[in-house]
Amino acid sequence: MPSHRFTFSGPLTGRLRVPGDKSISHRSIMFGALAIGETRVTGLLEGEDVMATTAAMRAMGARIEKSGETWHIHGVGVGGLLQPDAPLDMGNSGTSTRLLMGLIASHGITAQFTGDASLSKRPMGRVITPLSQMGANFDASEGGTLPLTMHGALPAVPITYRLPVASAQVKSAVLLAGLNTPGITTVIEPVPTRDHSERMLRGFGAELKVEEVDGERVIRIHGDAELKPQDVVVPGDPSSAAFFIVAALITEGSDLVIENVGLNQTRAGLIEVLRAMGGQIEELDRREVGGEPVADLRVKHSALTGIDVDPEVAPSMIDEFPVLFVAAALAKGTTTTSGLDELRVKESDRLSAMADALTLAGARVEERGDGLVIHGSGGDPLPGTSGVPVTTHLDHRIAMAMAVAGNASRKGVEVDDTSPIQTSFPNFMHLLAKAAA
């Protein structure tokens, strides 16, 4: 467990580029593995989570290799996944687990899923329910957690499923099961979540339609699909850029350009919220990369003011709350967040983990059932930790959020375990040290 003390080492300046989008990276490997022919992917995030997806797709028959900066994926075709001969180790990755369960649900194969201590606590019942309706069978504990074994159904049965939680992973699991199911599988999404599966499935040639009915998104996918190989360029991950956006906003003297950041509307909530708090975030050279809107972001140190965050924006910044809480801890006045029950079932309980960590670093935080209330310092650096390190609970976003807090503290913040950062942002510590040097 490598611990690390993150201390102020200077304002953030210059230019940097964050790694590829994690959601798009997972999907490019999965969809490439289901296409017939060679898919080429550049800008792939080479973090542990995406490598778990890669290993699983190899175990089910896809040939995946890297040469130079390009990943080459030779797919097996929809319906062509082979039975893996060992358990699929999902590591720390909820996205790998839930999306692959969807894929396997409509293949006549059996697979066992295992994961680390964090993933083994996370709820899988949310995908087991619709995938069982489609015909898949599960040997799982009553709580619906890993390890579990699933038996796919061939043929699976198309369903219409209305999402009971705002989750792109559940939506994607059902749509992916629908790829190899005869007929039309329908997902109704009352609250919009990230739409990378829809965009990319269409790009790979699936017949998928999205309609807005009474304010809800209705997504229909035709089964027995044939996917055609694509050249995918993965844009930079806005969820990774978030740490540098907040670090620059709260560190005096900062003026930083973050290049090539994906700005898909379903992911861009944090930028909106930070601007409403007074953050100076400028978009330069807005363009399209791989079918997604992208820009370079110029971020300057700003005096932030606390706000009430509208719970409606939550799905478009669901992974960014840990670092938003850090921005709020440095703002003037109070920031109130609510409607964030989903944060309790991520890699850690992110409400309690961030309340504990920020309190230990000297911030004033109240934990409520579905959100945090944070009384900001008015721009003064946080005191920082002494003695006891903050606990990351195997959660990369807690580790990186508290690293950013350390950079805006007097004594620094000691983080108990930096290894989870490898799941989504392997060069984070290097980039932070470089930008603040």
Ligand X SMILES: C=C(OP(=O)(O)O)C(=O)O
Ligand Y SMILES: O=C(O)C1=C[C@@H](OP(=O)(O)O)[C@@H](O)[C@H](O)C1
Pull the structure tokens for residue 404.
Answer: 């950013």
Report the b/e string of 51-88 with b at 16+ CB within 10 A.
bbbbbbbbbbbbebeeeeeebebbbbbbbebeebeebb
- Which SS3 state, helix, strand or coil, does residue 32 take? helix
Asked if 172 touches ligand Y (CB under 6 A), the answer is yes
End-to-end alpha-carbon separation of the chain, Å? 26
Q: Under rule CB under 6 A, which residues in 200-259 are in contact with ligand X?
A: none
In degrees to the nearest 10, what's the CA dihedral of 257, 263, 267, 273? 60
* Amino acid (1-letter code) at residue 423: T
Asked if 95 touches ligand Y (CB under 6 A), the answer is yes
CA distance 246 to 274: 8
Q: Tell how far CA 50 is from the center of its chain.
A: 11
CB of 21 to ligand Y, least distance (A): 9
| N residues, the chain | 437
| Binds 424: which of ligand Y, ligand X, none (CB < 5-8 Å by kind) | ligand X
Residue choice 39, 53, 169, 180 for contact with ligand Y (CB under 6 A): 169
Residue choice 319, 349, 416, 417 for contact with ligand X (CB under 6 A): 319
Q: Under rule CB under 6 A, which residues in 60-99 are in contact with ligand X?
A: 93-95
CB of 164 to ligand X, least distance (A): 17
Number of residues binding to ligand Y, judged by CB under 6 A: 11
Residue choice 126, 196, 346, 393 for contact with ligand X (CB under 6 A): 346
197 annotated ligand-binding residue:
no
> 46 exposed, middle or buried (CB, 10 Å; 0-12, 13-18, 19+)?
middle
Catalytic residue among 89, 195, 237, 319: 319
Tell me if 144 sits within 8 A of 219, measured CB to CB.
Answer: no
Residue nearest ligand X, Cβ-based:
94
Tell me if 403 sits within 8 A of 415, measured CB to CB.
Answer: yes
169 annotated ligand-binding residue:
yes
230 annotated ligand-binding residue:
no
126 annotated ligand-binding residue:
no
Pull the structure tokens for residue 167.
Answer: 């989750």
In degrees to the nearest 10, what's the CA dihedral of 220, 225, 226, 230? 30
- Which SS3 state, helix, strand or coil, does residue 110 take? strand
CB of 265 to ligand X, least distance (A): 19
Task: Name which of 122 and 301 has its Cβ closer to ligand Y.
Answer: 122
The yes-or-no answer on residue 231 being catalytic is no
Residue choice 347, 349, 416, 417 for contact with ligand X (CB under 6 A): 347
Site string for ligand Y, 189-228 (x = CB under 6 A): -----x----------------------------------
CA proximity to 97, closest of 129, 134, 127, 140: 127
Residue 141 has a CB neighbour count (10 Å cut-off) of 12
Number of residues binding to ligand X, judged by CB under 6 A: 9
CB of 318 to ligand Y, least distance (A): 5
Task: Name which of 382 and 399 has its Cβ closer to ligand X.
Answer: 399
346 annotated ligand-binding residue:
yes
Pull the structure tokens for residue 324.
Answer: 């938003």
CB of 169 to ligand X, least distance (A): 6
Task: Name which of 78 and 245 has its Cβ closer to ligand X.
Answer: 245
Tell me if 137 sits within 8 A of 163, measured CB to CB.
Answer: no
Asked if 28 touches ligand Y (CB under 6 A), the answer is no
Of the ranges 162-170, 241-249, 273-281, 374-382, which one interacts with ligand Y (CB under 6 A)? 162-170
Helix ranges (H only) for 72-220 are: 94-105, 125-133, 168-179, 196-203
Residue choice 397, 401, 408, 425 for contact with ligand X (CB under 6 A): 397
As a whole number of Å, the CA-based R_g of the chain is 21
User: Residues forming the annotated binding site for 3-phosphoshikimate?
Assistant: 22-23, 27, 167, 169, 319, 346
**Residues assigned a catalytic role:** 319
Applying CB under 6 A, the residues found at the interface with ligand X are 49, 93-95, 319, 346-347, 397, 424
Name the site residues for ligand Y (rule: CB under 6 A): 23, 94-95, 167-169, 172, 194, 318-319, 342
